[in-house]
């Protein structure tokens, strides 16, 4: 199979159906725009399964996504989309770049959640965008992206709350299907979320970014807890 996109931790292959793709999640983790990387065994399978559970819950809640079905270990069948090169970050509490770049104290609660847009461009280091800049760049559907992001946040933070984990912040990407529909795309997994368990324990990629723990242990425990609640 010929890859159509090779990302940092995933490869997208053309499906047999021209309107479908297969996404392969690799046993790989990167941080700092690819400056730091590792190859934890089993990570692709775990992230794929977590992402499948989350996309299924979004679909159940009536939110349109690119997800079609689980397609085997580390494989997800999805609708083929054109990815919109904007990363949408939802923040329920302050952490990460907003704490580094502002005077807002860590874990300040945002109610309503903050929704921010970043350019998806590694060469430019994914800069934060203003609404005026987005407007000039031709993005006229910001209110729609914001509304979708809020709806996704309600479902995903609710899901994590059920397993005793606070969703501090997370990143989503949107794509456009062949028939012009904007859907939630890419993956939603601990790689793109900040997740805090009891005792302020990180359960996400910050463990790898900061060298503070084993992501496989944390991600596996999240998967196990999610499987328990969705099977009820
Ligand atoms: N994030 C991501 N990909 C990126 C940038 C951010 O998945 O290229 C996620 C990140 O994991 C966190 C949230 O978006 O859950 C907010 O990230 P932040 O702006 O705080 O940047 P960071 O501190 O991670 O550099």
Angstrom distance (rounded) from CA 139 to CA 220: 38
Which atom of ligand 1 is the closest one to the Cα of 116?
A: 19
> Where do runs of H (alpha helix) occur along 88-214?
97-101, 131-136, 142-162, 206-209
Looking at ligand 1, which residue's alpha carbon is closest to its atom 2? 192
Ligand 1 midpoint to CA 99 (Å)? 12
Cβ-count burial 66-104 (b if 16+ within 10 Å, e if not): bbbebbeebbbbbbbbebbebbbbbbbbbbeebeeeeee
Ligand 1 midpoint to CA 138 (Å)? 24
Structure tokens at 213: 């723990």
SS3 content of the chain, % helix, strand, coil (to 5): 35, 35, 35
Chain mean position to CA 54: 10
Which atom of ligand 1 is the closest one to the Cα of 192?
A: 7
Structure tokens at 228: 């328990």
Task: Kindly list the protein residues whose Cβ atom lies closer than 6 A to any atom of ligand 1.
Answer: 87, 89, 96-97, 126, 169-171, 192-194, 205
Whole-model pTM over 0.95: yes
Ligand 1 midpoint to CA 30 (Å)? 12
Give the pairing of strands 36-38 and 86-93. Answer: unpaired
Structure tokens at 24: 């392969």
Looking at ligand 1, which residue's alpha carbon is closest to its atom 21? 97
Angstrom distance (rounded) from CA 230 to CA 226: 6
Q: Write down the pLDDT at residue 2.
A: 81
Structure tokens at 69: 């079905």
Instruction: Kindly report the backbone phi and psi dihedral angles of residue 91, in degrees, each rounded to the nearest multiple of 5, phi listed first.
Output: -120, 120
Which of 138, 142, 116, 118 minimizes the C-alpha distance to 128? 118
pLDDT tens digit at each of 232 positions of the chain: 789 999 999 999 999 999 999 999 999 999 988 889 999 999 999 999 999 999 999 999 999 999 999 999 999 999 999 999 999 999 999 999 999 999 999 999 999 999 999 999 999 999 999 999 999 999 998 999 999 999 999 999 999 999 999 999 999 999 999 999 999 999 999 999 999 999 999 999 999 999 999 999 999 999 999 999 997 6
Which of 146, 161, 27 minimizes the C-alpha distance to 93? 161
Ligand 1 midpoint to CA 166 (Å)? 16
Looking at ligand 1, which residue's alpha carbon is closest to its atom 23? 96
Chain mean position to CA 222: 15
Task: Give, rounded to a whole angstrom, the gap between the first and last alpha carbons of the chain.
Answer: 37
Mutation to probe ligand 1, out of 192, 215, 222 (largest number of atoms < 8 A from CB):
192
């Amino acid at each position: 199979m010929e890859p159509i996109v090779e990302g940092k931790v995933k490869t997208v292959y053309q499906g047999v159906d021209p309107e479908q793709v297969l996404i392969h999640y690799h046993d790989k983790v990167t941080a700092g725009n690819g400056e730091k990387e590792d190859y934890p065994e089993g990570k692709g399978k775990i992230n794929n399964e977590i992402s499948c559970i989350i996309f299924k819950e979004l679909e159940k809640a009536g939110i349109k996504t690119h997800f079609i079905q689980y397609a085997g270990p580390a494989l997800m069948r999805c609708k083929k989309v054109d990815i919109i090169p904007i990363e949408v970050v939802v923040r329920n509490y302050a952490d990460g770049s907003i704490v580094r770049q502002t005077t807002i104290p860590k874990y300040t609660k945002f109610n309503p959640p903050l929704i921010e847009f970043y350019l998806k461009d590694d060469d430019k280091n994914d800069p934060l965008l203003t609404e005026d800049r987005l407007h000039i760049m031709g993005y006229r559907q910001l209110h729609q992206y914001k509304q979708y992001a809020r709806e996704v946040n309600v479902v995903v933070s609710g899901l994590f709350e059920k397993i005793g984990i606070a969703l501090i912040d997370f990143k989503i990407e949107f794509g456009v299907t062949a028939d012009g529909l904007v859907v939630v795309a890419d993956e939603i997994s601990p790689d793109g979320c900040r997740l805090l368990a009891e005792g302020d324990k990180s359960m996400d990629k910050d463990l790898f970014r900061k060298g503070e723990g084993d992501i496989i242990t944390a991600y596996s425990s999240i998967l196990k807890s999610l499987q328990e609640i969705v099977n009820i």
